[in-house]
């Protein structure tokens, strides 16, 4: 296990990363505001399921392989940007709460989970973060087994912080949902804001 000082520094750096607005945060907040806290929490589960994939890739070296291959990294990068653009266009073409999800309650939950996972999974910046960030808090001189155990410990810490903060955002967005649905005029225009944010994020991802 990392020493207390290193673990504290890791927690501080992780909080800074999680609190910076990005596709994950936008996805969770918009769904929470549009459909309430239950849908918001489903979006958290989707996003964090992809975080588990990123963490496993970092621990077992897959992230390093992706970033060393220019073609693989470009594929992930542009696939993520294209997916955000698709979400943006779809939101702009619809109105009200339907700008985010459609179908029945069960179908919507499945769709929200799946899309949340894809938004996070196709974010190459997350892969780069774990590749460049984790090694700074691991004692590589202690041997491969110890280093991997430390990375697993840090992964659990990061996931706990991420789930806690994202769930807080979802609950806050859900609280705002009631206010929004009591104002049909505002609700009818939210698709413009949601679509615009996704298009901007997609363009930024493609050009980064």
Which pLDDT score, from 0 to 100, does residue 101 have? 44
The DSSP-derived string for 174-192 is: HHHHHHHHT-HHHHTTHHH
Cα-only R_g, the chain: 18
User: What is the rounded CA–CA span in Å between residue 117 and residue 194?
Assistant: 18
Which pLDDT score, from 0 to 100, does residue 19 have? 83
Tens of pLDDT, residues 35-67 = 888 999 999 999 999 999 888 887 776 656 555
Task: Outline where 141-183 has alpha helix (H).
Answer: 144-181
Region class of 160: left (phi > 0), else alpha (psi between -120 and 50), else beta: alpha
User: What is the rounded CA–CA span in Å between residue 123 and residue 190?
Assistant: 25
Which pLDDT score, from 0 to 100, does residue 102 have? 45
Structural domain tally of the chain? 1
Among 62-66, 106-110, 147-151, 173-177, which is the least confidently predicted range? 62-66
Which pLDDT score, from 0 to 100, does residue 136 have? 75
Structural domain containing residue 187: 4-12+21-207
Q: What is the mean pLDDT of the segment spanning 168-189?
A: 73
Query: Quick one: pLDDT band at residue 137, thresholds 50, 70, 90?
Result: confident
Which pLDDT score, from 0 to 100, does residue 106 have? 44
This prediction has a pTM of 0.76
Query: Quick one: pLDDT band at residue 130, thresholds 50, 70, 90?
Result: confident
Most confident of 47-61, 110-124, 157-171: 157-171
Query: Quick one: pLDDT band at residue 107, thresholds 50, 70, 90?
Result: very low
């Amino acid at each position: 296990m990392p020493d207390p000082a290193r673990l504290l520094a890791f927690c501080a750096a992780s909080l800074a990363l999680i609190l910076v607005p990005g596709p994950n945060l936008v996805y969770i907040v918009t769904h929470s505001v549009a459909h309430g806290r239950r849908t918001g929490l489903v979006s958290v589960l989707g996003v964090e399921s992809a975080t588990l994939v990123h963490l496993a890739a970092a621990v077992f070296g897959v992230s390093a392989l992706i970033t060393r291959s220019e073609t693989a990294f470009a594929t992930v990068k542009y696939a993520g940007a294209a997916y955000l653009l698709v979400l943006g266009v779809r939101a702009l073409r619809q109105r009200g709460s339907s700008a985010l999800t459609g179908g029945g309650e069960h179908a919507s939950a499945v769709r929200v989970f799946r899309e949340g996972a894809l938004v996070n999974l196709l974010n190459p910046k997350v892969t780069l973060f774990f590749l460049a960030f984790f090694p700074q808090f691991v004692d590589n001189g202690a041997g491969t087994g110890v280093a991997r155990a430390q990375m697993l410990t840090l992964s659990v810490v990061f996931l706990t912080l991420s789930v806690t903060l994202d769930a807080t955002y979802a609950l806050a967005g859900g609280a705002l949902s009631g206010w929004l649905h009591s104002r049909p005029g505002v609700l009818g225009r939210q698709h413009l804001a949601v679509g615009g944010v996704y298009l901007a994020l997609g363009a930024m991802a493609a050009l980064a």
